[in-house]
Amino acid sequence: MAVEQLLILIKPDGIKKSLTGNILTKLSEARMVIIGAKAVKVGKELAEQHYYHLKDKPFFGELVEYIQGKIYGEPWDRVLAFVYQGEDAISRMRKIAGATNPEEADPVSIRGAYGRITTKGVYENVVHCSSDPAEAEREIKLWFKPEEIVKNIYDTQKIIAEKEEKIIWKQK
């Protein structure tokens, strides 16, 4: 068994249903450690990149809106993003998350317990969970900067970024 890391998202339906605590409690049964965590307002580009493997599906447009929380609006239009690490983390966390289709998912899994299918046919399944190590690496690098993760999990490089605009806390 290998130590793996993966991306977990609490999707906007999970936020709206106030399921953050329940989801994190269920995930904690796997005894993994959280090595990155943040709240994200998901832009269209990030949403499309995250789900690029589904871009040819008829529901792609709805899916991109769903992960952005557009249907819910303020203050539910955000996700909570986590990087978890542990032995055999991907298959173990996916088991706790449950099958993609919430109606086929084990009723004791997160998706089975809390997911639904919308009238438009989108699976609102409450959490995202990386599917394999290569996808996990792609997704973690898409959602997190190296300094937002408390462990070195992938190789980094140092660059000098000139004329980079950034927002900092205003001094009093």
Instruction: Name the binder of 122 from ligand UDP, Mg ion, none, CB < 5-8 A by kind.
Output: ligand UDP
Asked if residue 53 lies in contact with residue 33, where contact means CB atoms within 8 angstroms, the answer is no
73-132 residues in contact with Mg ion (CB under 5 A) are 131
Query: With respect to ligand UDP, which residue has the nearer C-beta, 5 or 125?
Result: 125
CA-nearest of 89, 93, 69 to 79 is 69
* Phi-psi label, residue 126: left if phi above 0, alpha if psi -120 to 50, beta otherwise: left
- In the complex, what is the shortest distance from the CB of residue 131 to Mg ion, in angstroms, rounded to a whole number? 4
Place of tokens 């339906």: 13
Q: Considering only residues 48 through 107, tell me which ones interact with ligand UDP, judged by CB under 6 A.
A: 54, 59, 63, 100
Among 131, 137, 138, 148, binds ligand UDP (CB under 6 A): 131
Please, what is the minimum distance in Å from the beta carbon of residue 53 to ligand UDP? Answer: 7
* Residue 123 DSSP class: E
Beta strands, E only, the chain: 3-10, 33-40, 79-87, 116-117, 123-124, 127-129
Scan residues 38-57 and list those touching ligand UDP (CB under 6 A). Answer: 54
Q: If 0-12 CB within 10 Å is exposed, 13-18 middle and 19+ buried, where does residue 26 land?
A: buried
Asked if residue 94 lies in contact with residue 55, where contact means CB atoms within 8 angstroms, the answer is no
Residue 22 engages Mg ion in binding (rule: CB under 5 A): no
Q: For residues 91, 87, 143 and 131, what is the CA-based torsion angle, rounded to 10 degrees?
A: -20
82, 84, 123, 143: which one contacts ligand UDP (CB under 6 A)?
123
**What positions carry a catalytic annotation?**
128
Single out the segment in contact with ligand UDP by CB under 6 A; choices: 20-28, 38-46, 68-76, 120-128.
120-128
Residue 59 binding result from ligand UDP, Mg ion, none, given CB thresholds of 5 to 8 Å by partner type: ligand UDP
Residues that bind ligand UDP (CB under 6 A): 54, 59, 63, 100, 122-123, 125, 128, 131
